[in-house]
Amino acid sequence: MKTKFILSTCLLLLLQSAISQTAGSNNNWTVTDRSDFIRECITSAGQNMNVDSATSYCNCMLPKVEAKYPKIEDAGNLTAEVLATPEWKKMIADCMQSWTNKDKADFIRECIATAKQSLGEEKASFYCNCMQVKVEEKYPTVEEAGKITDSELQSESFQKMIKDCMGGWTGAEKTVFTNDCIKEAKKTMSDLKARNYCDCALSKIELRLPVFSEAQYLIPDKINSPYWKQILLDCNK
């Protein structure tokens, strides 16, 4: 309980800092705002948990805060009283249990050890990385993921996840995505940075949307989703 209270207090301080830095700009969160939030959040949360856990917690909290307060100046409405509500308590508690880098690595390693016997090392690596992304999306906390039942594994939705991750994009599909991505990215960054950004984005998006036809349909509608914003942060470093 003490840790949750400290993290709630840190969250308020971080938002107050962000608001003061952008006062009067009346803009939505920028990539810099998000990067600053993550960096300062990790520094504060790291006083009460290890860096891996703090990173997972802060990456989890960012889209939740931004979804509630699309404009930073509106985040001033996030008071101690608001953080004490059941809704925010649950969000904080869930993010404290979010997947750490170690959790993800353990899942992928154990999956590959089993899958490579029938798929081979390379295909097993893609399949397991893809499944980790989809399992985490379906079960945001490690505790929830640990309670997956046999009936859930046999469900239509879970079987579709498995089938999708057994595929992946063709070389031609990757080329189409990369060329289109670079064309757009070059409007705001150099050629080299655009290529590096798009190579990074491709690797992440293919894992999230391993069926290219679905990716073509979903990507334009998801450009402002928390996942896309995380890609912007991760690939724009």
What integer pLDDT is reported at residue 27 of this predicted model?
A: 55
Looking at residue 232, its pLDDT comes to 74
SS3 99: coil
pLDDT at residue number 222 = 53
- pLDDT tens string 42-79: 888 777 788 888 888 888 888 888 888 888 777 767 77
Residue 43: name the closest of 10, 70, 91, 88 by CA.
10
Q: Which residues of the chain have pLDDT under 50?
A: 1-20, 22-26, 220-221
* CA dist., res. 186 & res. 57, Å (int): 32
pLDDT at 225: 63
Pair 29, 15: CB distance under 8 Å: no
Answer whether 133's CB lies under 8 Å from 208's CB. yes
Q: What is residue 226's predicted lDDT score, i.e. its pLDDT?
A: 64
Residue type, 95: C
pLDDT at 132: 93
Backbone φ and ψ of 147, nearest 5°: -105, 15
pLDDT at 2: 40
In this prediction, residue 4 carries a pLDDT of: 43
